[in-house]
Amino acid sequence: MRGIALGRKAWPFAGSDRGGERAAALYTLIVTAKRNGIDPEAWLADVLARIADQPVSKLEQLLPWNRKARLAKLAA
């Protein structure tokens, strides 16, 4: 919750409604990664490194809950 309180003062300066929507979407993905027990910074770095080569039909594989399953499969 601390991240929400800290960001509250900065959010009005997102630049536009569209910028605010993008910030909300990114924050949602970061919180989702945390709730799935994944380091959000490592997950985001992995997504940014892999997204250019990922077919559009398989973008869901980059979502946090799917990454957790992929890492478990690689560890086995």
pLDDT at 37 over 70: yes
Alpha carbon distance 66, 41 (integer Å): 16
In this prediction, residue 13 carries a pLDDT of 65
pLDDT at 3 over 70: no
Q: Which of 46 and 73 is assigned the larger pLDDT?
A: 46
Determine the Cα angle at 45 with ends 61 and 2, to 5°.
Answer: 100
Q: Which two tokens stand for residue 45?
A: 């770095």
Give the model's confidence band at 49: pLDDT under 50 very low, under 70 low, under 90 confident, else very high: very high
Alpha carbon distance 4, 52 (integer Å): 30
> Mean pLDDT of all residues in the chain?
80
User: Per-domain residue ranges for the chain?
Assistant: 2-75
